[in-house]
Amino acid sequence: MSILLDASTRLLIQGITGKEGLRSLEWVTAYGTKVVAGVTPGKGGQEVDGIPVYNSVDEAVAAHPEINASSIYAPPRFVRAAALEAIAADVPLIHIIGEEVPVKDTVDILHAAQKKGVRIVGPASIGLISPGKSKIGSIGGDDNQQFAPGNVAIISKSGGMSSEIALLLKAHGYGQSTVIGIGGNQLIGTTYADVVDDLENDDDTAAVIIIGEIGGLYEELLAEKLATLPNHKPYIAFISGRFAETLPQGMSFGHAGAIVDKHIGTRIGKIEQLQAVGAHIAENPSAIVKILDEIGIPKE
């Protein structure tokens, strides 16, 4: 198994005729993802590599009711409209790659999605992949050589680190069940805590790696969630930002989701809370493999 996507995923790409949309189409179809339709307002009736293009999500879903995911490739100022359109059409999984989406727009998107029970991954998400089955977004680029099917899930704020850790695991014989770049914005649709139940219920996930950073409360919220599950699977967390510990106390700094203020969102605070609920802490990326070996996670 995997979470959020698998071989049954049927993808819609919003903004399919733009440069980034076209590149995503090339990359995901090459990996085996079934893209069934695209949307670009004003370009309905065209085709891109045999994929029909529609003017609206409603038109696409009416023609292809099997659509169960959408990936939005639109400029930041247009993301809100595109996402609300997909939410209104009851597309259950929506991936948003765009960075610098206005905070107010993100609030509107998340509020609408919550009311409809729609899963949002992003904004600023590189994408998600179930190795050997399907992928959405630009994760893995055009070759995906860093990923391999396996039993370790990776959930990361950083898109680059999700690939780096996957490559590290692969080099040591560990494959991945699911890899998700959740995005590093202050507000995101899917947090670490949001996928815990999915991961706990996934028979093919034996361990979970969390790649976090200073700032925000998402790692702390994960700790709160794990505290309700005394027999949870092994979680291994690497929290970047050690350099911040050398700066004067009380400084406020950061960007997007990496904002630290006094003791809120500190690396040490996150580590202490995760350790308190049984998570393993990796002081550096290479320590992740050592921990997996020590706790006896089987290699694929």
Number of domains in the chain: 2
pLDDT, mean of residues 66-82:
98
In which band, very low, low, confident or very high, does the pLDDT at 255 lie, cut at 50, 70 and 90? Answer: very low
Contact of 223 with 279, CB cutoff 8 Å: yes
Is 179 domain-assigned? Answer: yes
Kindly state whether residues 297 and 167 are assigned to the same domain. Answer: yes
Beta bridge partners of 237: 210, 281
Q: Determine the Cα angle at 164 with ends 12 and 252, to 5°.
A: 90
Is 216 domain-assigned? Answer: yes
pLDDT, tens digit, for every residue of 5-64?
Answer: 999 999 999 999 999 999 999 999 999 999 999 999 999 999 999 999 999 999 999 999
Catalytic: 255?
Answer: yes
Kindly state whether residues 117 and 154 are assigned to the same domain. Answer: no
Cα-based distances in Å from 158 to 56, 61, 249: 31, 32, 26
In which band, very low, low, confident or very high, does the pLDDT at 231 lie, cut at 50, 70 and 90? Answer: very high
State the Cα–Cα distance between residues 90 and 201, nearest whole angstrom: 24
Domain range enclosing 44: 1-124
Q: What is the pLDDT of residue 250?
A: 53
Kindly state whether residues 114 and 167 are assigned to the same domain. Answer: no
Residue 23 DSSP label: H
State the Cα–Cα distance between residues 181 and 75, nearest whole angstrom: 19
Q: Do strands 207-213 and 149-156 pair parallel, antiparallel, or not at all (unpaired)? A: parallel
Is 133 domain-assigned? Answer: no
In which band, very low, low, confident or very high, does the pLDDT at 247 lie, cut at 50, 70 and 90? Answer: very low
Kindly state whether residues 105 and 197 are assigned to the same domain. Answer: no
Q: Determine the Cα angle at 23 with ends 22 and 25, to 5°.
A: 65
**CATH code of the domain in which 107 resides:** 3.40.50.720
- The pair of structure tokens assigned to 117 is 């029970």
Is 116 domain-assigned? Answer: yes
Kindly state whether residues 110 and 152 are assigned to the same domain. Answer: no
Kindly state whether residues 266 and 153 are assigned to the same domain. Answer: yes
Beta bridge partners of 47: 52
Percent of the chain predicted with pLDDT > 90: 87
In which band, very low, low, confident or very high, does the pLDDT at 248 lie, cut at 50, 70 and 90? Answer: low
Kind and range of the H or E run holding 199: helix 196-200
Q: What is the pLDDT of residue 259?
A: 52
pLDDT, tens digit, for every residue of 118-163?
Answer: 999 999 999 999 999 999 999 999 999 999 999 999 999 999 999 9
Is 248 domain-assigned? Answer: yes
Q: What is the pLDDT of residue 246?
A: 43
Kindly state whether residues 149 and 276 are assigned to the same domain. Answer: yes
pLDDT, tens digit, for every residue of 196-209?
Answer: 999 999 999 999 99
Is 103 domain-assigned? Answer: yes
Classify the C-alpha dihedral 179-184-187-193 as positive or negative: positive
Kindly state whether residues 202 and 237 are assigned to the same domain. Answer: yes
Contact of 60 with 12, CB cutoff 8 Å: yes
Kindly state whether residues 202 and 154 are assigned to the same domain. Answer: yes
- The pair of structure tokens assigned to 65 is 């009711």
Percent of the chain predicted with pLDDT > 70: 92
Residue 264 DSSP label: B
Kindly state whether residues 155 and 232 are assigned to the same domain. Answer: yes
Q: What is the pLDDT of residue 243?
A: 43
Kindly state whether residues 111 and 252 are assigned to the same domain. Answer: no
Pick the catalytic residue from 64, 255, 263, 280: 255
